[in-house]
Structure 1
Amino acid sequence: MPHDHHHHHHVDPEAGDARLIGAIAVNMALTVAQVLGGIFSGSLAMIADALHNFSDAISLIIAAVARRIARRPASADMPFGYARAEVVAALVNYTTLIVIGLYLVMEAILRFLSPAPVAGWMVVIIAAVALAVDLITALLTWSMAKDSVNIRAAFLHNVSDALGSVAVIVAGTLILLFGWTWVDPLVTLLIAGYILWMAFAEIGDVIHILMLGSPPQLAPREVLEEAAQIEGVDGLHKAHLWQIDERNAALQAHLVVREGAWGQADTIKAAVKERMKARFGIAHVVLEMECAHHACAAPQDWGGS
């Protein structure tokens, strides 16, 4: 299992904020155009795409606000800082995607049961404009998405919306050429299916962080084994290894100092902390020292107090 620490290359915060504001503006304008187009053309797929596009704009607003909150410094009330605001924002955005996906499934089924006429030419034109805007938004957020689960959630909103626009263009074209109005709710189902698949695939990692799970890029057993290899260490137990946020992990454990080495306890503790940072990238390490003669009886490796 991989255990190397990942180094992140951050986009300048101010430049990133400007990109998000630009992406929000174009998405809000597009949403209005798509809703009007969907109403006048009678296309459910276009309204579905507009609803999804509106969720893109909201997701970008949530992402932008979370980015600003996350930059606040640590305080007495929030000793780990506010970086998890971005994780919470990602959870909100993925949950919203799931709700939208389920709503679109319901609407598509109702349209299958009660078909309605669709003006294909208007669908194709507005969906083509939507695709261009989706691609612009994706380009604005792509570099930031590699470094943040928060921006990645917003970015995936837009990628799925771009695919939705392609599907709407195909549906409108088929309606123009063959009069197949049933393609409209079928495309809506496909868009909804993709949204749900994408959201469920990503939301697990976000929940894992919020549930204080261990970092997925680390093998927890290797962390204990690595510490035990340091001279004077008899082992670690009652360990807690968790992600503070997307980029930082923390370790808290009882460290047993080998008999006869208690005089070097401070040096041993410093060596363990340095090894944890160098090997695994764990900068937040809290160790409760125990001498081997008075160590916990039959301790568990993970959890406990």
Structure 2
Amino acid sequence: MPLATEKLGHNHVFLGAGHQRNERRVWLVIALTATMMVAEIGAGHLYGSIALVADGWHMSTHAGAMLITALAYLYARRQASNPRFTFGTGKLGDLAGFASAIVLALIAMLIGWESLLRLANPVAISFSQAIAVAVAGLAVNLISAFLLRDDHQHHGHSHAGHSHHGHHASGHDHHDHGNHDHDHGSHSHHDHAVQSRGADNNLRSAYLHVMADALTSVLAIVALVAASIYGWLWLDPLMGIVGALVIAHWSWGLIRQTGLILIDATDAVTGLQAEIRQRIETQGETITDLHVWQVGPGHNAAIVAIATSSPHPPAFYKEKLAALSGLSHLTVEVTPLAA
């Protein structure tokens, strides 16, 4: 008896685990950062402190970068079921992370340039005031980092409610070029409620921004205290250069990781590719074409083309891959070979 058409349908919601929770945390950090920013700029103008004003505007750059993160979460959630997005909106977080990493790299360049200028042309420093600003900024950054930590207490979810593993294959026609089977949620007939969470690069980008700010605050405190005791005015801009190099390194790592995901490079899914080949390829079956790519945090899609002289229904091969963590969208093609 043919299956009802509605049973064959499936959605493409590949948002990361804890998407809404992370979104709320980012908005909270933005509010915290913006409040501190306004307070610093206002107090700086009121008391004539250039250090306060400068730090306030510096925080505004990180608040702006985190706004990219928050808006990406919001848009991805609201458009998750929009059919315009062929594989859902799961990769919007990686796009936002990439953009945010570019901003982080620019901040590193600005800090480095300003530090070089200060190194060449030292200026008088109001140590007590500057240290107080750095300590206040560090406190805000540590609270923000705690809120944005990517903890592992929240795992992925089961796809049992919206997948149709096995059903597709049973009613699929045979074609000249082979059998095809298309599946979403290959965990459906197994009790694998916990799956690979995957890296949420959108959250990671926001976390790196507050950690970069915290790093500059720590280095500034060390440099200012040492300079106030020993008179080493050159230590402050030198620490600025060190901080800029570390932040640039962080930003490059995030740019590379998100960039590979955005262009569907295999680097991000090499392990999953190897597992698929290990489970499918036997003496009688050979994978002739394999495409694996990430469609969201903890969600991967795969197209597997198999050539065999003893063909089985696509569901047979999908059963072999059903236990693979993070494989959320699977298409199988079987091409019979002459015996």
Shift of 1:120: 1.0
Partner of 1:95: 102
2-structure distance, mates of 1:103, 1:82: 33
Q: Secondary structure at the match of 2:215?
A: helix
TM-score normalized with structure 2 length:
0.72
Mapping of residues 6-21 of structure 1, within 5 Å: 10-11=17-18, 13=20, 15-21=21-27
Secondary structure of 1:249 counterpart: strand
Partner of 1:193: 245
Report what 1:286 is aligned to.
Answer: 331
Counterpart of 2:127 in structure 1 is 120
Equivalent of residue 208 in structure 2, options 156, 163, 167 = 156
**Alpha-carbon spacing, 1:9–1:97, altered in 2? closer, same or farther (3 Å):** closer
Q: 1:140 to 1:93 in 2, by over 3 A?
A: same
Q: Could you tell me which residue of structure 2 aligns to residue 3 of structure 1? A: none
Could you tell me which residue of structure 2 aligns to residue 105 of structure 1? 112
Identity of aligned residues (%): 25
Alignment partner of 1:237 is 2:282: no
1:131 CA displacement = 0.9
**Aligned residue identity for 2:128:** W
Q: Which residue is equivalent to 2:224? A: 172
SS of structure 2 residue aligned to 1:254: strand
Q: Distance in 1 between matches of 2:240 and 2:301?
A: 44
Q: 1:26 aligns with which of 16, 32, 41?
A: 32
- Which has the larger displacement, 161-170 or 86-95? 161-170
Summarize deviations over 1:2-34 as a string: whole Å, max 9, x none: xxxxxx994372x44333222111212323455
Tell whether the 8 Å contact from 2:17 to 2:297 is kept in structure 1 after alignment. no
SS at match of 1:256: strand
Unaligned runs of 5+ in 1: 1-7, 295-305
Deviation at 1:123, TM superposition (A): 0.4
Matching residue of 1:250: 301
1:227 maps onto 2:280 in alignment:
yes
- Alignment match, 1:54: 60
Q: Note if contact 1:62-1:89 (Cα within 8 Å) is conserved in structure 2.
A: yes
Return the alpha-carbon distance in structure 2 between the equivalents of residues 35 and 118 of structure 1: 18
Where relative contact order (Cα < 8 A, 6+ residues apart) is larger, the structure is: 2
**Residue 289 of structure 1 aligns to which amino acid in structure 2?**
V
| Aligned-partner residue type, residue 281 of structure 2 | A
The alpha carbon displacement at 1:122 in A equals: 0.8
TM-score (norm 1): 0.79
Compared CA separation, residues 183 and 42, structure 1 to 2 (3 A): farther
1:131 to 134, 138, 159: 138
C-alpha change, 1:27 and 1:240, in structure 2 (3 Å) is: same
SS at 1:284 equivalent: strand
Give the distance between the partners of 2:90 and 2:277, measured in 1 at CA: 27
Deviation readout 1:110-133 (Å, 9 max, x if unpaired): 222222111111101111111111
Q: SS at the partner of 2:335?
A: strand
- Which of 71, 80, 91 is 1:65 aligned to? 71
**Which residue is 1:218 aligned to?**
271
Letter in structure 2 aligned against 1:58: G
Instruction: Summarize the Cα distance change of 1:20–1:283 in structure 2 as closer, same or farther, 3 Å threshold.
Output: closer
Shift of 1:288: 2.6
Q: Indicate the RMSD between aligned Cα atoms, in angstroms.
A: 2.9
The equivalent of 2:235 in structure 1 is: 183
Cα distance in 1, alignment partners of residues 22 and 103 from structure 2: 23
Residues in 1 aligned to 2:16 and 2:206: alpha-carbon distance in whole angstroms = 19
**Is there any run of 5+ residues in structure 2 with no aligned partner, and where?**
1-14, 153-196
Q: Give the C-alpha shift of residue 196 in structure 1.
A: 0.7
Partner amino acid for 2:213? D
Tell me the distance in 2 between the aligned counterparts of 1:280 and 1:125. Answer: 48
Asked if 2 retains the 8 angstrom alpha-carbon contact of 1:24 and 1:60, the reply is yes
The amino acid of 1:204's aligned partner reads R
Amino acid at match of 2:321: M
* Structure 2 counterpart of 1:252, one-letter code: I
Cα distance in structure 1, aligned partners of 2:142 and 2:270: 31
Q: Could you report, residue by residue, the CA deviation over 1:58-114 in whole angstroms, capped at 9, with x for unpaired residues?
A: 232111111122223333321211111101010011111111111221121122222
| Larger helix share, 1 or 2 | 1
